[in-house]
Structure 1
Amino acid sequence: MFDTLPTQIGAGFTVLVVAFAFLKGDEPERIAAGAYVLAWFATLLVQGDGSVGGTQWGMMGIDIIMLGVYIGLAWKSRRAWPVWAAALQSLVVMSHILSLVDIRPPISAFYAVINLASTGILLVIAIGTFWAWQERRAAGLE
């Protein structure tokens, strides 16, 4: 899975954001980062590298669970970033639904949407962690 330079850069970015969220974030950021890294590893286990077409049910299930996590964080948290994470994750779920309904978008478009939305979610978690860290610093708690 990590055989190309772009996948290695993406994995490094993911590890950096998750570490930043665990070190400097509050509870919502830690929950999101933990769920993201668990879903990342689960996706590595269930994805079918040989199957190019059709719905990958395992990945779709993981992405639906992640959408539920982000919706729950948006509902219970007083922060704005979980709304953005849920919106980006809904794009990923809709991509799965498009392949399920047999709209047949090009597979490169399917993977582009998933990769860009996942990168956006990581950016949103990083921004939310930075804001939480700065709020704690401004309050003198850190």
Structure 2
Amino acid sequence: MIDDIYAQAVLAVAVLTVAFAFWKGDEPERLGAAAYAMAFLATSMIRGDATPNVPRWGMMGIEIVLLVVFIGLALHSRRAWPVWAASFQALVVTNHVLIAASLRPPVVAAATVINMSNYGLLVALAVGTFWAWQERRAAAMSSTGRL
């Protein structure tokens, strides 16, 4: 899984984004980061032999759980990033559903959808964390009278 420099770079970005969310984020960002990290670890453990265009029910289940977490965050949070994260995760789940429905998308297209959706999800998490951090700093400055 992490056998080339590109995969290692993407993993480093994911780890930095999750660490940033834990360090500077509020509760929704931390919950989203924890869910993403747990899903990443779980899918890494069950990856095994990846036969193209064959339903991988375990991975599909994990991706659906992650989608439910982001939908829950979107419904219970006043922030916009969980909506974007849920949208990107919905693309990943849709990709798994297409494979399970025997529609057989091209392997490269399926991999591209999953990879690009994960990048989008990480960007949404990072931007949401940044804005939560900035809102908290602005609130702290206004309460102390330092504007």
Interval of TM-score (by shorter of Structure 1 and Structure 2): over 0.9
Displacement after TM superposition at 1:46 (Å): 1.0
Flag structure 1 segments of 5+ consecutive residues without an equivalent. none
The answer for the alignment partner of 2:91 in structure 1 is: 91
Displacement after TM superposition at 1:48 (Å): 3.0
The answer for the alignment partner of 1:122 in structure 2 is: 122
Letter in structure 1 aligned against 2:69: V
Displacement after TM superposition at 1:130 (Å): 0.1
TM-score between both structures, scaled by the size of structure 2: 0.93
- The list of structure 1 runs, each at least 4 consecutive aligned residues, that deviate by more than 4 angstroms after superposition, is none
The answer for the alignment partner of 2:144 in structure 1 is: none
The alignment yields a C-alpha RMSD, in angstroms, of: 1.0
Displacement after TM superposition at 1:51 (Å): 1.9
Displacement after TM superposition at 1:76 (Å): 0.4
The answer for the alignment partner of 1:32 in structure 2 is: 32
Contact 1:48 1:56 in 2 (8 A): no
Higher Cα Rg, which structure: 2
Residues 21-100 of structure 1 correspond to what in structure 2 (within 5 A)?
A: 21-100=21-100
Letter in structure 1 aligned against 2:30: R
Contact 2:21 2:29 in 1 (8 A): yes
Letter in structure 1 aligned against 2:112: A
Flag structure 2 segments of 5+ consecutive residues without an equivalent. 142-147
Contact 1:26 1:132 in 2 (8 A): yes
CA deviations over 1:17-48 (Å, ceiling 9, x no partner)? 00100000000000000000000000001113
Q: For 1:60 and 1:108, how far apart are their aligned partners in 2?
A: 18
